[in-house]
Amino acid sequence: MFGASVRAILSLITKEFTWIVIAGYGVAIPLAWWAMDRWLSDFAYRISLSATMFATGGSVVIGLALITIWLQAAKAARSNPLESLKTE
């Protein structure tokens, strides 16, 4: 068998995209906190923002991203390269 195994392809793609998602989330946290703090300060009944809200959101986003990456990478890794070359 030639080429990389499905497991190796999944590992490489997952590692790359996971870092992209984490970096994006790291940029989004301060921006979201600042925007939500400004917006919520205008209300008569205020709530305070907690780190738990952002951690829960981040966990859900990273989980969904991993599931999507695994499904798409597995589909691509199992596909026959000849089929995509025929259509090109």
Q: Alpha-carbon distance 79 to 88, whole Å?
A: 15
Q: What is the pLDDT of residue 17?
A: 85
Q: What is the pLDDT of residue 64?
A: 92
DSSP, residue by residue, 25-79: HHHHHHHHHHHHHHHHTTSSS-----HHHHHHHHHHHHHHHHHHHHHHHHHHHHS
**How much is the pTM?**
0.69
The residue with greater pLDDT, 53 or 78, is: 53
| Residue 69: count of CB within 10 angstroms of its CB | 19
> Is residue 70 within 8 Å of residue 18, measured between CB atoms?
no
Q: What is the pLDDT of residue 84?
A: 66
> Is residue 14 within 8 Å of residue 73, measured between CB atoms?
yes
What is the DSSP-derived secondary structure letter of residue 87? H
Q: Which whole number is the average pLDDT over 51-56?
A: 90
Q: Which whole number is the average pLDDT over 8-23?
A: 85
Q: Which whole number is the average pLDDT over 29-36?
A: 92
When pLDDT is cut at 50, 70 and 90, the band that residue 1 belongs to is low
Q: What is the pLDDT of residue 63?
A: 92
